[in-house]
């Protein structure tokens, strides 16, 4: 018997069953090529799916570049059972939806005019011209449905050497779209490479341009950065840390990541935890971040809940002791595990042994089940309606506060009190 490394198995699977051999994708390519001479390539994969395939990473999105216009692309799928969505027609993009894929298909383009946020483009059938308008060499690698590469910017060499290079002049590329600064940081973190001095200088000279970018676009890129495991190493690269801190000055506590690294294996790589660790303080710094970026309700609620319970934890010595079951029931195990992680990361007085003891307690606890429901109350004579819901809430609160116990006599008393 011998052990096979998981990544080795994944690479073997990727080699034997490459994504481009999928029947749905083959059908899409077949439709795009219909009516086009075989000597002329109508479509190729491009961008992240090719880069990730070559790097043996998980492929999330499929992007296809084509010589066809959006109208021509839509016409190709008119008589099929595939849905075509106008996701960005003015930018030359439609999305074709099959059973297992949402494929973005974009017409080859060349930039005519840029302003740091948006580009005025012109359609082309020249693959070289399309590659020249892309941001990095590693994102300008094309691949046809048979797996044959077209690499006009030598992106495969840079990918192999973990070299993130702008196509052409970094200064010019950044001025075309200032979001490329944040995208560069993301790829730098992903592939763990040093930043060339010319690229670093161009980035630092153009940081003010990020103010032109919508908060929504910035937030999307930020979450992609935080979602990568290598982000925890940002303190090890002073140059990168300096750039990141200037773009996101609200992250006041990057040094806390050093403590988080010690326990992050238990976090299920939750972006909300990272945000809380870098933001939380007694001055409500997280509120500034929430309003500045107009974050989703989900993120806002997560940060506000962490903040509320961190305050409770500070004021309640029994939070993780006598009141642990109660707090788990109210907030859920995952939240308490995350709270333990955050508290360890932001509070240097908490020892690793204390963290481990609390984690083990949380994992071992069996969450109590509230024994009363609407059916129970109806059997006791209550009618459907708001009062029934109010009684349930009252009973549950008393059950929790009484160490998850409540007598039938007390149930009857509460029902009676709420019947008038």
Q: What is the pLDDT of residues 364-373, one digit of tens each?
A: 999 999 999 9
| Mean pLDDT, rounded, for 207-217 | 94
Q: How far apart are CA 13 and CA 55, in angstroms?
A: 13
Q: How far apart are CA 378 and CA 376, in angstroms?
A: 6
* Common-topology check for domains 1-161 and 168-249: no
Taking only the tens place, the pLDDT of each residue in 48-57 is 999 999 999 8
Determine which of 15-19, 35-39, 234-238, 305-309 has the lowest per-residue pLDDT on average.
15-19
Taking only the tens place, the pLDDT of each residue in 53-84 is 999 988 989 999 999 999 999 999 999 999 99
Beta bridge partners, 105, equal 64, 94
Residue 47 gets the label, from left (phi > 0), alpha (psi -120 to 50) or beta, of left
Of all residues in the chain, the percent with pLDDT exceeding 90 is: 74
User: In this predicted structure, what is the pLDDT of residue 269?
Assistant: 66
Taking only the tens place, the pLDDT of each residue in 314-354 is 999 899 999 999 999 999 999 999 999 999 999 999 999 99
Instruction: Please state the pTM of the whole predicted model.
Output: 0.83
User: In this predicted structure, what is the pLDDT of residue 121?
Assistant: 78
User: In this predicted structure, what is the pLDDT of residue 6?
Assistant: 42
Taking only the tens place, the pLDDT of each residue in 7-33 is 544 454 444 468 999 999 999 999 999
Structure tokens at 225: 């950065």
User: In this predicted structure, what is the pLDDT of residue 4?
Assistant: 43
292, 215 contact by CB (below 8 A): yes
pLDDT at 116 over 90: no
Structure tokens at 33: 């090529």
pLDDT at 288 over 90: yes
Structure tokens at 147: 């797996």
Q: Report the CATH fold assignment for 168-249.
A: Hydrophobic Seed Protein (1.10.110)
Helix (H, G, I), strand (E, B) or coil at 285: helix
User: In this predicted structure, what is the pLDDT of residue 140?
Assistant: 97
Structure tokens at 340: 């333990």
Band of residue 115 on the pLDDT scale cut at 50, 70, 90 = low
Structure tokens at 148: 């044959």
Beta strands 142-143 and 43-46, pairing class:
antiparallel
User: In this predicted structure, what is the pLDDT of residue 18?
Assistant: 87
Q: Report the CATH fold assignment for 1-161.
A: Beta Polymerase; domain 2 (3.30.460)
Q: Measured on CA atoms in the order 96, 51, 34, 71, is the torsion positive or negative? A: positive
| Mean pLDDT, rounded, for 143-166 | 94
83, 96 contact by CB (below 8 A): yes
Beta strands 109-114 and 93-97, pairing class:
unpaired
Computed over every residue of the chain, the mean pLDDT equals 90
Q: How far apart are CA 2 and CA 281, in angstroms?
A: 50
279, 271 contact by CB (below 8 A): no
Beta bridge partners, 150, equal 142
Structure tokens at 234: 């940002």
Beta strands 83-88 and 109-114, pairing class:
unpaired
| Mean pLDDT, rounded, for 292-297 | 95
pLDDT at 295 over 60: yes
Contact residues for 227 (Cβ-Cβ < 8 A; gap 6+): 269, 271
Q: What are the structural domain ranges in the chain?
A: 1-161, 168-249, 253-367, 374-417
User: In this predicted structure, what is the pLDDT of residue 381?
Assistant: 84
Question: How does DSSP classify residue 383?
Answer: P
Q: How far apart are CA 2 and CA 249, in angstroms?
A: 49
Helix ranges restricted to H, 248-332: 257-260, 271-279, 285-293, 297-315, 324-331
Contact residues for 343 (Cβ-Cβ < 8 A; gap 6+): 310, 313, 350
């Amino acid at each position: 018997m011998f052990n096979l490394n998981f990544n080795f198995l994944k690479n073997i699977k990727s080699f034997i069953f490459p994504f481009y051999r999928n029947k749905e994708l083959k059908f899409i390519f077949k439709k795009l090529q219909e009516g086009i001479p075989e000597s002329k390539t109508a479509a190729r994969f491009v961008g992240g799916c090719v880069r990730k395939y070559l790097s043996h990473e998980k492929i999330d999105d499929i992007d296809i570049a084509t010589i066809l216009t959006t109208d021509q692309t839509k016409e190709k799928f008119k008589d099929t059972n595939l849905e075509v969505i106008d996701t960005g027609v003015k930018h030359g993009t439609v999305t074709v939806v099959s059973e297992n894929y949402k494929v973005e298909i974009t017409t080859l383009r060349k930039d005519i005019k840029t302003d740091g946020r948006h580009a005025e483009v012109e359609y082309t059938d020249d693959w070289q011209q399309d590659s020249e308008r892309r941001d990095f060499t590693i994102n300008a690698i094309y691949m046809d449905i048979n797996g044959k590469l077209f690499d006009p910017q030598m992106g495969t060499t840079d990918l192999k050497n973990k070299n993130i290079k702008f196509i052409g002049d970094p200064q010019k590329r950044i001025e075309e779209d200032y979001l490329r600064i944040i995208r560069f940081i993301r790829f730098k973190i992903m592939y763990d490479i040093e930043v060339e001095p010319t690229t670093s200088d161009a980035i630092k000279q153009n940081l003010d341009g990020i103010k032109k970018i919508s908060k929504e676009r910035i937030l999307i890129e930020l979450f992609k950065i935080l979602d990568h495991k290598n982000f925890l190493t940002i303190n090890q690269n002073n140059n990168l840390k300096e750039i990141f801190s200037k773009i996101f000055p609200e992250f006041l506590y990057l040094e806390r990541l050093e403590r988080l690294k010690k326990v992050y294996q238990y976090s299920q790589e939750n972006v909300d935890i990272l945000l809380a660790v870098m933001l939380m303080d007694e001055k409500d710094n997280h509120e500034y971040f929430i309003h500045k970026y107009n974050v989703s309700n989900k993120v806002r609620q997560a940060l506000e809940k962490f903040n509320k319970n961190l305050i409770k934890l500070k004021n309640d010595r029994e939070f993780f002791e006598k009141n642990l079951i109660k707090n788990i029931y109210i907030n859920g195990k995952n939240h308490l595990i995350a709270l333990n992680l955050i508290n360890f990361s932001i509070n240097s007085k908490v020892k690793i042994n204390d963290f481990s003891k609390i984690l083990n307690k949380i994992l071992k606890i069996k969450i109590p089940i509230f024994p009363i429901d609407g059916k129970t109350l109806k059997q006791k004579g209550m009618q459907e309606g708001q009062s029934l819901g109010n009684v349930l809430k009252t009973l549950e609160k008393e059950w929790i506060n009484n160490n998850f116990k409540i007598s039938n006599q007390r149930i009857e008393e509460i029902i009676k009190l709420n019947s008038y």
